[in-house]
Amino acid sequence: MKRYLYYPGCSLRGTGKAYEESLLAVFKALDIELEELEDWNCCGATAYMSIDEVNAFALAGRNLALAEKKKLDLMAPCSACYLVLNKAQHYIKEYPKVAQTLEHGFKAAGLTYTGAVKVRHPLDILINDIGIEQIKARIKKPLAGLKVAPYYGCQIVRPYATFDQMYYPVSMDKLLRAVGAEVVDYPLKTRCCGGSQKGTLPEVGLSLIHILLKEAGRRNAQVVATICPLCQFNLDAFQEEAGKKYGEVSMPVVYFTQLLGLAFGFSAKELGLERNIVPAKRVLAKFEPAVA
Amino acid sequence: MDARNGDVRIGVFVCDCGSNIAATVDVKAVAEYAAALPGVVVSREYKYMCSDPGQELIRQDIVEHKLNRVVVASCSPLLHEETFRGAVAKGGLNPFCFQMVNIREHDSWVHTDRARATEKAIALLRAAIGRVAFHKPLERKRVPIHPDVLIVGGGIAGIHAALTLANAGKHVYLVEREPTIGGHMAKFDKTFPTLDCAACILTPKMTAVKKHPNITLWTLADVTGVEGYVGNFQVTVTRRPRYIIEDLCVGCLECIEACVYKQAKVPDEFNLGLGKRKPIYISFPQAVPQIPVIDPETCIDFKSGRCKKTCIEACADRHAIDLKQQPQVETVPVGAIILATGYQPFDARKVPNYGYGVYPNVYTSMEVERLINASGPTGGEVVLRDGRKPESIGIIHCVGSRDEKTNKWCSRVCCMYSLKLAHLLKEHTGAEIHNFYIDMRTPGKGYEEFYNKLLEEGVHMIRGRVAEVTDWATTPEEEGKLVMCAEDTLISFVRRVPVDMVVLSVGLVPQDDAQDVRRLFNISCSSEGWFLERHPKLAPVNTFTDGIFIAGACQAPKDIPDAVAQAGAAAAEAMVLIDKGYVEMEPNTAYILEEECSGCKTCITLCPYSAISFLSDKKVAQINEVLCKGCGTCVAACPSGSIMQNLFEDEEIFKEIEGVLVNV
């Protein structure tokens, strides 16, 4: 049985609760054991890094140091966590000065870090460690006929393209195809969701959100699948507002793990599909297991 | 006379190399230190030891101070060992009573701390003085050179080198792995900046190769073995079956007509899959040799054995078709080898944001060459895959070049061929042409003028690397088009340019098997995979392996004029070698002390050059000096210590080690 350390980050315990629910369900179905990293702390996200780089690396680095003791790969499902942990790892390895500075911090906390931790994304684990064949073997209800726009967001492949292509990632496409869905060509798959612009420059944020949703519709997608809690939140929660401003759109936005979960036979409730603001039931109901 | 039995008188010469050495090493202190060492009679420093006065200094000192050993501390022996050996010989000494110390590449160029660099120079010099005392006079052996030359690769570089050598009366074996010679140039439509037709200037040379009595042309052939050394290589060439007997075929091509496939159905390699061919085919109308080839992967007879064999019927009593033909192995002796193995175009799929392989109307530059060509798949008509004629075309420069994510190098030819394609596409279609470039690089005779001509023709030049090609339309004008997104860096504005056709100007990359080829021929590659020249400026066609030369784009991206110039240079270098008639072998070979050899034969199996044989009458091993490369394997392995090696005798090595370590 494969085992990984699990770093939920704040999102999967908050706005991205549905991501955690569906992820844990899917991983369990595939016999993948997850052990939550004990005493994990905030990754710092990209905001802290732009204010105080060294302290941001120390914050992220503490998680890495905690993980190293366990000698397991560290899985970070949130794109921001994944990027920040990888960036801290990269700087510790490539810039001796950063490593030396952090060493003092680690020492004060009674920790050491040699740089051995591998930060992994669930997509990477599913494709490269588990494999398409294993995933196919678990299918109970193939998502036949479901047209999905695969939306990756920016952070998962940029600037570190660790397991997929930088401009045109395909790992989620492969997983979705494996469970029977039809993946539409979606050239906007790594375009900006607006990040936190909805809060600071709402005009900019809303127009970016609208572009993504409208194009998915134009390409006949019935649902957008994403891997990032912030992308999901932006496209889902502000869809109505964006629609009012730029033209109506109606596009459920789900986590890829929710779609895998449906194919594995889990119920909408088990996968957190009821948490969606734009209801997904309209397009996904036919894949849900019959209620006994 | 050496340190074992007499008076040793050593002269030491330390070179400043202008400021190359003197700036980092205290050369005066080094020379003064050496003066006090045992056996040293004279020790000097001088500005340029390699200059005429520097060499004269050595000669005079040998005579004046009755020197019998010389040490020069300067640059790499690769550069000037021969120079100083010559100076020593002029003074009347045996050139091997000499040792060179490298205090430039190994010291001044790689260190910054003057005190410690000086200390290192002293240690290296002390080691050399220690070892030179034991040097013995040695003689070089002369070995005759085989006058034939092997050329690998039948592109324009290989063709030009072959013709040059053959016209000078040398016999050449030209080996090409494709069914025809001509290489990439045969696929081009026109050539920049003169716009003369590539085939018109190339095919006469191809025919000349075939006709030349001094050239043996082997197509569909691979070099599978190389043994020997400069002047005396043994090369094994494996000729794959063409299934047509070359000597019997007259090139009437009636067999192709007669093939049971009435229509050509197989994607045609020469046209990069844009056209179709039959299982029996000829690459292009002017192919050399003008002989068809049968592709066993698609020929019905190879697949099922149940073909009517109409090709054989058509060949009638010539009997040139032989479906049972087997690979043929030829072994030939040659004195020199020229590698002209070329390049391959960058695989545009590696830049997925340009949509090659996703959007049908994204083409590579090579595909467009074929589309424009009158003998290409569309007869020279530029039409898209859906049959439309493009009204707007975008050309992206530097695809797979000048890019941190793919290849860092500039491929040198893409700016110019992009301009050429822009001109030809405009001529063929009348479309609006947009060239997206990073920087225009047009250094060459008539190149900048050609660029100006294109500007006058109204081709749009947009300075900016394209970020993506997408079918995502944001305005009605973009619907159904490919949109090219780029920052126009001259106006600091992001532009979206909708076009019907995108051309990717792909860069040049080393051949996939460049590493295998370099291992086979025992030469070096740069880290990118280009074959490494002996010196980037002064020995551009030589390699570090004597007798092996490089020409054309296997060394680095280059255009046709440069490839041809280099091919001529490689041919001249090969001729220099051959016309000299002999090579002098380095005397650093191993030899056996017969009275101590126990005849255990350990060394015989270990020798990588098969230079050791066993004398059954004397029951001792014997080393062939000509074959020995001086690797030292047998010396180290001999259980009774009865193998010695010239210039690497025990005393010499121990004194050298002692010299380096004595103050540590």
Contact B264, B377 (CB under 8 A): no
Q: Which domains does chain A have, with CATH numbers?
A: 37-120 (1.20.1050.140), 140-287 (3.40.50.11810)
Give the type of residue at B53. Answer: P
Position A167 scores a pLDDT of 86
Per DSSP, B359 falls in state B
Shortest Cα distance, chain B CAs vs residue A158, angstroms:
12
- Rounded to 5°, the CA angle B533-B535-B536 comes to 80
- Locate B245 and state its tokens: 């007997």
Q: At which residue do the structure tokens 């990756």 appear?
A: A152
Diameter over CA atoms, chain B: 97
Cα dist from B99 to B31, B90, B121, B589, whole Å: 15, 16, 14, 17
pLDDT tens readout for residues B56-87: 999 999 999 999 999 999 999 988 999 999 99
Containing A101, the helix (H) or strand (E) segment is helix A96-108
- Paired tokens of B86: 């010559």
B320 touches B248 (CB < 8 A):
yes
User: What angle (nearest 5°) sits at the alpha carbon of residue B143, between those of residues B140 and B144?
Assistant: 145
Q: Backbone phi, then psi, for B539, in 5-degree steps? A: -140, 60
Backbone angles phi, psi at B444, to 5 degrees: 180, 165
Residue A262: pLDDT band (50, 70, 90) is very high
Please report, rounded to a whole number, the percentage of residues in chain A having pLDDT higher than 70: 99
CA distance B266 to B260: 13
Residue B440 distance to chain A (closest CA, Å): 26
CA separation for the pair A155, A125 (Å, rounded): 17
Which pLDDT does position B608 carry in this prediction?
84
pLDDT at position A292: 53
Could you tell me if B23 and B118 are in contact, meaning their C-beta atoms sit under 8 angstroms apart? no
Q: Distance (Å, rounded) from C-alpha B358 to C-alpha B504?
A: 13
- Do residues A175 and A123 lie in contact, with contact meaning Cβ atoms separated by under 8 Å? yes
Residue B639: pLDDT over 70: yes
CA atoms within 13 A on the CB side of A260: 32
Q: How far apart are CA A158 and CA A228, in angstroms?
A: 13
Q: Which residue of B has its CA nearest to A211?
A: B474
Residue from A12, A216, A13 nearest A122 by CA: A12
Verify whether the Cβ–Cβ distance A187 to B352 is below 8 Å: no
Distance from CA of B409 to the nearest CA of A (A): 21
CA gap A214, A158 in Å, rounded: 24
Residue with tokens 């410690």: B116
Residue in chain A closest to B472 (alpha carbons) equals A187
> Which candidate in A164, A184, A185 is best for mutational testing of the B interface (most B CBs within 10 A)?
A185
Mutation to test the B interface, candidates A152, A167, A173, most B Cβ within 10 Å: A167
| Alpha-carbon gap: B474 to the closest alpha carbon of chain A (Å) | 9
Which residue from A167, A188, A215 is facing B353, i.e. has the nearest CB? A167
Asked if A187 lies within 8 A of B351 by C-beta distance, the reply is no
Top mean-pLDDT range of A99-108, B155-164, B580-589, B590-599: B155-164
| Residues B559-582: tens digit of each pLDDT | 999 999 999 999 999 999 999 999
Please enumerate in sequence order all residues whose Cβ is within 8 A of that of B617, keeping only pairs 6 or more positions apart, or say none.
none
How confident is the model at residue A119, as a pLDDT? 97
DSSP B352: G
Q: What percent of chain B clears pLDDT 90, i.e. is strictly above it? A: 94
Question: Least CA distance to B353: which residue of chain A?
Answer: A167
Number of residues that this document lists for chain A? 292
Residues of chain A with Cβ-Cβ distance to B468 below 8 Å are: 167, 187
Average pLDDT value for chain A? 95
Cβ within 8 Å, pair B352-A185? no
DSSP B392-432: EEEEEEEETSS-TTS--S--SSHHHHHHHHHHHHHHHH--E
Q: What is the pLDDT of residues A20-57, one digit of tens each?
A: 999 999 999 999 999 999 999 999 998 898 899 999 99
Give which of A154, A165, A168 to mutate to test B binding, by max B Cβ within 10 Å.
A168
Nearest to A186 by CA among A204, A168, A203: A168
Residues of B in contact with A215 (CB under 8 A): 472
Find out whether B31 and B14 touch, Cβ atoms under 8 Å: yes
The pLDDT-based confidence of A291 (bands split at 50, 70, 90) is low
For an interface test with A, the pick among B347, B349, B350, B353 (most A C-beta atoms closer than 10 Å) comes out as B353
What DSSP state is assigned to residue B314? H
- In this predicted structure, the answer to whether residue B131 has a pLDDT above a threshold of 70 is yes
Distance CA B531, CA B387 (A): 42
- Give the closest-approach CA distance of A211 to chain B in angstroms: 9
A164: closest chain B residue by CA: B352
Token pair recorded at residue A35 = 């052990």
Q: What is the pLDDT of residues B313-359, one digit of tens each?
A: 999 889 999 999 999 999 999 999 999 999 999 999 999 999 999 99
B357 touches chain A (CB under 8 A): no
Cis peptide before B557 (omega within 30 of 0): no
Rounded to an integer, the average pLDDT of B536-552 is 94
pLDDT at B228: 86
Confidence label for B159 from pLDDT (cuts 50, 70 and 90): very high
Per CB-CB distance under 8 Å, the chain A contacts of B352 are 165, 167-168
- The distance of A167 to chain B (nearest Cα, Å) reads 6
Tell me whether the omega of the peptide bond preceding residue B289 falls within 30 degrees of 0, making it cis: yes
CA angle, residues B233, B236, B242, in degrees to nearest 5: 145
Please list every residue in chain A whose beta carbon sits closer than 8 Å to the beta carbon of residue B480. none
- Output the CA angle B41-B43-B45, nearest 5 degrees: 165
Q: Which residues does chain A have within 8 Å of residue B405's beta carbon, measured at their own beta carbons?
A: 166
Chain A residues contacting B via beta carbons under 8 Å: 165-168, 185, 187-188, 211, 215
Tell me the mean pLDDT in the region B610-619.
Answer: 92
Coil, strand or helix: which one is B31?
helix
Task: Provide the shortest C-alpha distance from residue B359 to chain A (in Å).
Answer: 11
Q: Which residue of A has its CA nearest to B483?
A: A187
Q: Using the beta-carbon criterion (under 8 Å), do A168 and B472 form an inter-chain contact?
A: no
- Residue (of B379, B382, B483) closest to B426 by Cα position: B382
Omega within 30 of 0 (cis) for the link into B193: yes
Cα–Cα dist B160/A277, whole Å: 72
3-state secondary structure of B218: strand
Q: Cβ of B405 and A166 within 8 Å?
A: yes
Q: How far from chain centre, in Å, is Cα B277?
A: 33
Task: For residue B256, give the amino acid letter.
Answer: I
Q: Are B231 and B582 in contact (CB under 8 A)?
A: yes
DSSP reduced 3-state for A174: helix
pLDDT of amino acid B664: 64
**Does B4 have pLDDT greater than 80?**
no
- Which token pair is B375? 């003998």
Chain B from 633 to 652: CB within 8 A of any A CB: none
Q: Is B358 on the interface with A (CB under 8 A)?
A: yes
Please give the share of chain B, as a percent, with pLDDT higher than 70: 99
B468 touches chain A (CB under 8 A): yes
CB-CB neighbors (< 8 A) of B474 in chain A: 211
Backbone angles phi, psi at B382, to 5 degrees: -90, 100
Q: In chain B, which among 511-570 make CB contacts under 8 A with chain A?
A: none
CA nearest neighbour of A144 among A104, A107, A100, A181: A181
Q: Are B352 and A168 an interchain contact pair (Cβ–Cβ within 8 Å)?
A: yes
Best residue in B466, B472, B478 for a mutation probing chain A (most A CBs within 10 Å): B472
Q: For residue B3, is pLDDT > 70?
A: no
* Beta-carbon-side half-sphere exposure of residue B134 (alpha carbons within 13 Å): 17
Shortest CA gap B203–chain A (Å): 43
CB contact under 8 A, A187 and B470: yes
Cβ of B353 within 8 Å of Cβ of A168? The answer is: yes
Could you tell me the two tokens for A157?
A: 């492949």
Residues of A in contact with B403 (CB under 8 A): none
Structural domains in chain B, sorted by start: 10-140 (3.40.50), 141-240+327-342+524-581 (3.50.50.60), 254-318 (no CATH), 345-509 (3.50.50.60), 589-645 (3.30.70.20)
Is the peptide bond preceding residue A159 cis, with omega within 30 degrees of 0? yes
Residues 6+ apart with CB under 8 A from A110: none
For B308, what's the count of Cα atoms within 13 Å in the CB-facing half-sphere?
8
Supply the pLDDT for residue B42. 97
Cα separation, B133 vs B40, whole angstroms = 10
Residues of A in contact with B478 (CB under 8 A): none
Helix intervals (H) in B91-155: 114-132
A188 contact residues in B (CB cutoff 8 A) = 472
**Chain A contact present for B352, CB below 8 A:** yes
- Read off the pLDDT of each residue in B85-107 and give the average, rounded to a whole number: 96
Q: How many CB atoms lie within 10 A of CB B198?
A: 20
This complex has an ipTM of 0.79
Instruction: Provide the pairing of β-strand B293-294 with B221-229.
Output: unpaired
Q: How far is B362 from chain A (nearest CA, A)?
A: 15
pLDDT in tens, B479-509: 999 999 999 999 999 999 999 999 999 999 9
Both structure tokens of A165:
């292509």
Helix (H, G, I), strand (E, B) or coil at A77: coil
pLDDT digits (tens, 9 = 90+) for B426-483: 999 999 999 999 999 999 999 999 999 999 999 999 999 999 999 999 999 999 999 9
Angle at B111 between CA B110 and CA B116, to 5 degrees: 145
